[in-house]
Structure 1
Amino acid sequence: MIAVLFAILTAFSNGSASVLQRRAALEVPHTDAVGMSLIGHLLRQKVWLAGIGLVIVAAVCQAVALATGPISVVQPIFVIELPATLLLAGFMMRAPLPRPVWLGVAAVTLGLALGMASAAPGGGSSAVHGAAWVPALILTGLVETLLIAGGLATRGNVRAALLATAAACAYALTAALMKDAMARLDGGGGAGALFTSWQLYATAAAGVGALFLLQNALQAGTLVAVQPCLTLGDALISVLYGVTLFGEDLRTGWWVLPELLALGLIAAGCVELARSPLASGNATAPARARRVD
C-alpha cells in the first residue's frame, strides 16, 4: 500500500533528520549555544542543512501518505520513529546499542504489527463532509484547554505528561487537517482549491502549536514521562479522528484484547527507549522525542 510505504518513509526521514540535526548541534561551541549565533553557526553546517532537507521530505511523504490512505493506518505507523531514530543514531555516531534498546525496538515493532493486524483499520472517505469539523474543533479545544490548565497547575513529570498529551492531540489534529486539505487536490479544484482551503492554514497553525507544547513538555519533565503520552496519544487520537471524521473502520469485539496488548507493548517499548542515553541526548548519539508529523 502506498500510504504505508510513505508513512514508513516519513518516520525514517524524521529519524534521520533528528540524528543529523543533533550531530550538527554537538559541533556548536558552548558560547554559541544560546541566541541567534546558534542559528548562524548551524546554517554554515551542511549536516544541519541536510537535516532540514529531510524534514521537508518527511512533510511531503506524510502528505502523500495521508492523501492515499486512512489516517488510522498512517498515523500509528509513526510510532516507529523513535526506534528508527535510535538505530540510526547508533549507526551514524558509531555508538553501541545496549540490550534494553534492542528490547524496546522489538516491543514497539511487535506492538505496532499486532495492533495493525488486530484493528485492521481501513475504509472511510478522503475528506470531512459537511460541518463535522465544528463539533470536532470545539471538543478538541476543550480537551486541549483542560490538559494545558492541568499541566500549568502541576509540576515535574505530571506536567510533562499532561503537556505531552496536549501536544499529541495537536499533532493528531494537524494530521486530520492535512488529510482533509489534501483531499481538495482530488476534488477538481487542483492546487487552487488546496491553497484557498482553511484546512491548509489550520494545519500550519496546529503544527506550530503542537511543537510549542512538545518543547514545554520536554522542559517540564523527563523523556520517560513525555514519550509514551506523545507516542500513544498521537496514534490513538488520530484513530479517533479517523473513525469520527472520516468514517474509517476498526475491528471491535474480542479483537480489543490483542489491541490492548499491542498498546501495552508499544508503551513499554517507548518507556525503555526513552530511558536510553541515546534518547536523552546524554550519549554521543541522540534522538528526537517526536516527528514532529
Structure 2
Amino acid sequence: MISVLFAVLTALSNGTASVLQRRAALDVPHSAAMRLSLIGHLLRQKVWLAGIGLVIVAAVCQAVALATGPIAVVQPIFVIELPAALVVAGFVMRVGVTRQVWYGVAAVTAGLALGMAAAAPVGGSEDVEGTAWIPALVATGAFEAALIAAALGTRGNARAALLGLAAACGYALTAALMKDAMSRLDADGVVGLMTAWQLYATAAAGVGALFLLQNALQAGSLVAVQPMLTLGDALISVTYGVTLFGEELRTGWWLLPQLIGVALVTVGCVVLARTPLATAQPAPSRVR
C-alpha cells in the first residue's frame, strides 16, 4: 500500500529531524523563547538546517501518503517516528541499543497495530466542503490559543508539554489542509492546486507548528515534548479525518482495544523518550 510506505518514510524523516532540532535548540539562550530571534539563532546552525531538510523530505512523502490514503490511516503511523529515529541513531552512532529501547519499540509497534486493527479506518472523501472548514478552523484556533496561554503561564517540562501538544495540533491541521489541497491537484491539475487556498494555509499552519515545536524543544526535555507531539498529532488527525473527510472508525466494544492501543503507544513513547539516546544533553555544537 503506497500510502503506508510513504507514511513510514515520513515518520523516519520527521523522527530524525526532531533529534537534530533538539540538538540545535540546546544552543539557544532561554531569553529567545517565544521570540522570532529564536529562529535567527537556529538558522546559524548547520545541524538545524539539516533537520529542516529532513522536514522538507517528510513533507513531500506525507503529501504522497495523504493523496493515496485516508488521513485516519496515514497520520497514526507517524507514532513510529521516535522509535525509528532512536534505533537508526543507535546503529549509525554505534551506540548500543538497550533493552529499554527495544521494549519501547515493542510497545509502540504493538499499540499501533492493535489500535489500527481495532479502528479499521475506512471510507471518506478526498476533499472537504468549503463551509465545513469554518467551524474546524475556529475550534482549532481556540484550542491552540488556550494551549499557548497555559504554556506562557508555566515553565520547564510543563510548558514543553503544552507547546508540544499545540505543535501537534498545528501539524494535524497541516495534514488535513494538505490532503484537501492534494485533492485539487487530482481534480483540476496544477492550476487547481496553485489556486487553492488550502495550499497556502498548509504552508502557514506548517510554519506555525514548526515555530511552536522549536519553543517546546527549547523549553524542556524530549520526554515532555515527544509523547504529546506524537500522540496529539495522531489523535487530532483522526478527529479531522472523521469530522472533515467523513472517514469511519469502528465503535462499540472496539473502543476498548483502541484505548489499550493508545495506552501502549503512550507507555512506549515515555519509555523511549527516557532512554539515554533521547535524553542525552550533548555539548553545545561548534558546527555553525
The secondary structure found in structure 2 opposite 1:175 is: helix
**Matching residue of 1:291:** none
**Is the alpha carbon distance of 1:96 and 1:195 closer, same or farther for their aligned partners in structure 2, counting shifts above 3 Å?**
same
TM norm structure 2? 0.86
TM-score by length of 1: 0.85
Give the structure 1 partner of residue 273 of structure 2. Answer: 274
155-164 or 227-236, larger mean C-alpha shift: 155-164
Does structure 2 conserve the Cα–Cα contact (< 8 Å) formed by 1:108 and 1:267?
yes
Alignment of 1:74-89 (within 5 A): 74-89=74-89
The equivalences for 1:219-230 within 5 A come to: 219-230=218-229
Counterpart position of 2:215: 216
* Identical counterparts, % of pairs: 72
Corresponding residue for 2:256? Answer: 257
Tell me how far apart the structure 1 counterparts of residues 152 and 82 of structure 2 sit (CA, whole Å). 27
1:127-163: CA deviations, max 9, x gaps?
A: 0013100010001111111111111112222222211
Gaps of 5+ in 1: 29-33, 285-293
> How far, CA to CA, are the matches of 1:221 and 1:36 in structure 2?
20
Q: How many residues align?
A: 271
Instruction: Report deviation, 1:56.
Output: 3.0
Q: Distance in 2 between matches of 1:281 and 1:93?
A: 13
Q: Tell me, which stretches of 5 or more residues in structure 2 are unaligned? A: 28-37, 284-288
1:176-232 superposed Cα distances (whole Å, 9 cap, x missing partner): 000001010111x21111111111111111111111111212222222222211111
Answer yes or no: is the 8 Å Cα contact 1:157–1:221 preserved in 2.
yes
Mapped to 1, the partners of 2:257 and 2:157 lie a distance apart of 29
**CA RMSD in angstroms, aligned pairs only:** 2.6
Matched residues in 1 for 2:161 and 2:51: separation? 28
CA contact (8 A) 1:171 1:207 kept: yes
Q: Distance in 1 between matches of 2:153 and 2:48?
A: 37
1:196 is the counterpart of 2:177: no
2:194 maps to a residue whose letter is F
Aligned: 1:59 with 2:69: no
> What amino acid is aligned across from residue 275 of structure 2 in structure 1?
S
- Structure 2 counterparts to residues 72-221 of structure 1, below 5 A: 72-187=72-187, 189-221=188-220
- Return the letter of the residue paired with 2:202: T
8 Å contact kept, 2:223–2:279: no
